[in-house]
Amino acid sequence: MHPDTHLRLHHQRAGELHAQAAEYARASRPESRRALRTLRTRLGWTMVELGLRLAQHPPARPARIA
């Protein structure tokens, strides 16, 4: 294939890929951000719950005399 033809086809395909990538980014961004925010919120509250459980004092146990 002639180098100029090859370069022309490369630029055309690169433009198509850039257009597809931009369309995909516009279409998927809000949903993925919402899902990420939900995941962060759930993870955050799980960590808070775990921290509170670790910070609690263990229940007092009566001493055993054997």
Query: What is the tens place of the pLDDT at every residue in 31-66?
Result: 677 888 899 999 999 999 999 999 988 777 887 886
Q: Please determine, for residue 28, whether its predicted confidence score (pLDDT) is greater than 70.
A: no
pTM summary value:
0.43
| pLDDT value of position 15 | 96
CA angle 27, 29, 31 (to 5 degrees): 90
Residue 31 identity (one-letter amino acid): E
Instruction: At 22, list the tokens.
Output: 């931009």
| pLDDT value of position 30 | 65
- Other CB atoms within a 10 A radius of the CB of residue 9 amount to 11
Average model confidence (pLDDT) for the chain? Answer: 87
Q: Where are the domains of the chain?
A: 1-50
State how far the alpha carbon of 48 is from the alpha carbons of 34, 45, 51, 52, 58, in Å: 21, 5, 5, 6, 18
